[in-house]
Amino acid sequence: MTAELQRTAPSAWTPEELAAIREGLESAVERLRAESLQLSGAGDDVLHDELDVASQRSGMLQDAVQAQNLAAILEQTQAVLDRLSAGLYGVCASCSGEIGRPRLEAFPRATLCMTCAH
């Protein structure tokens, strides 16, 4: 099945463009991991009153949501890097059709064509 999908992969990307895409995605992975580590180290403040406690809880909730978002984006970015390594960048993960170049230029982590995404 993989060989069949690779044959339908768009050939509009040059090796240089794919290398630049890979570099950008790998850079994003590094940045996301650094942000995630930074979030995990936050919240070690000394609390003096109830307002401090409430403020800390609010901040912790925001950090938890942000950490979940970072983890999801990191997972999605890694999946796209895996697809790139497999020669499937630009191939829809759902229908095996082509993901339009404008979509990938705007959102390099896209794994679905516009039809399947909606």
Segment 56-115, tens digit of pLDDT: 777 778 878 888 999 999 999 999 999 999 999 999 999 999 999 999 999 999 999 999
**Does residue 88 sit in helix, strand or coil?**
coil
Question: pTM (2 decimals)?
Answer: 0.72
Provide the token pair at 43: 């919240």
* Overall number of domains in the chain: 1
Residue 1 forms part of a structural domain: no
Residue 106 forms part of a structural domain: no
Residue 37 forms part of a structural domain: yes
Residue 113 forms part of a structural domain: no
Residue 4 forms part of a structural domain: no
Provide the token pair at 98: 């082509």
Band of pLDDT at residue 3, cut at 50, 70 and 90:
very low
pLDDT over 50 at 8, yes or no: no
Q: Which residue spans within 1-118 are E strands per DSSP?
A: none
Residue 52 forms part of a structural domain: yes
Residue 7 forms part of a structural domain: no
Give the span between the Cα atoms of 86 and 49, in whole angstroms.
Answer: 55
Residue 118 forms part of a structural domain: no
| 76 Cβ neighbours under 8 A, 6+ residues apart | 109, 111
Give the residue numbers spanning the domain of 65.
Answer: 12-89
